[in-house]
Amino acid sequence: MKDILTIAMPKGRIFEDAVGLLRKAGYQLPPEFVDSRKLIIEVPEESFRFILAKPMDVTAYVEHGVADLGIAGKDVMLEEEREVYEVLDLQISRCHLAVAGLPGVEMNDIAPKIATKYPNVASSYFREQGEQVEIIKLNGSVELAPLIGLADRIVDIVSTGHTLKENGLVELERIFDITSRLIVNPVSYRLKDKPIDDIVERLAHVVST
Interface with ligand ATP includes 178 (CB under 6 A)?
yes
* Residues 178, 10 contacting (CB under 8 angstroms): no
Residues near ligand PRP (CB under 6 A) are 140-143, 156-163
Interface with ligand ATP includes 185 (CB under 6 A)?
no
Interface with ligand ATP includes 159 (CB under 6 A)?
yes
Interface with ligand ATP includes 55 (CB under 6 A)?
yes
Shortest distance, CB of residue 138 to ligand PRP, whole angstroms? 9
Shortest distance, CB of residue 97 to ligand PRP, whole angstroms? 10
Taking CB under 6 A as the binding criterion, the range among 71-79, 80-88, 129-137, 165-173 that sits at the site for ligand ATP is 71-79
DSSP the chain: -PPPEEEEEE-SHHHHHHHHHHHHTT----GGGTT---SEEEEGGGTEEEEEE-GGGHHHHHHTTSSSEEEEEHHHHHHH--S-EEEEE---S-EEEEEEE-TTPPPPSSS-EEEES-HHHHHHHHHHTT---EEEE-SS-TTHHHHHTS-SEEEEEESSSHHHHHTT-EEEEEEEEE-EEEEE-HHHHHHTHHHHHHHHHHHHHHHT-
Interface with ligand ATP includes 101 (CB under 6 A)?
no
Taking CB under 6 A as the binding criterion, the range among 6-14, 42-50, 63-71, 106-114 that sits at the site for ligand ATP is 6-14
Residue number with the smallest Cβ distance to ligand PRP: 140
Question: What residues are paired with 158 via a beta bridge?
Answer: 96
Of 46, 63, 68, 75, the one binding ligand ATP (CB under 6 A) is 75
Interface with ligand ATP includes 73 (CB under 6 A)?
yes
Question: Which residues form the interface with ligand ATP (CB under 6 A)?
Answer: 10, 12-14, 55-56, 73, 75-76, 93, 95, 140, 157, 159, 178
